[in-house]
Structure 1
Amino acid sequence: MLIERLSGVITLFPGDVILTGTPSGAGQARRPPRFIRPGDAVVSTIEGIGSMRNEFFLRP
């Protein structure tokens, strides 16, 4: 269902990665809460395939 809805508003290509959820170590469950901020990076890894790093920043 998620892929169906996404493909209705953007074009998906082979190799596209769709990430959902909250990365470990972040979010409201932490005390105190810790949310992703500009300058943070999230690394997603799929064993046997590789890693992808996403850095977060504010648009000018």
Structure 2
Amino acid sequence: MHIEIDKDRCIGAGQCALTAPGVFTQDDDGFSALLPGREDGAGDPLVREAARACPVGAITLSEDE
């Protein structure tokens, strides 16, 4: 899995970090960011829910090929 965060769309609601804190965090400006080494979701079952929880759809998930 590959996780992409659209920084231009993110509003810093933090729902991703609340839902999957083992993968997402917020940067110093309050916007969503991936924790180092978690770019593939690290097998966290809540990654998909975190993407769905984003109120502006700033998180895109794609399957590795």
TM-score category (smaller protein): under 0.3
Question: Could you state the TM-score of these two structures normalised by the residue count of structure 2?
Answer: 0.25
Structure with higher Rg: it is 1
The higher-RCO structure (CA 8 Å, 6+ apart) is 2
Which structure carries more helix by proportion?
A: 2
Question: Could you state the TM-score of these two structures normalised by the residue count of structure 1?
Answer: 0.26
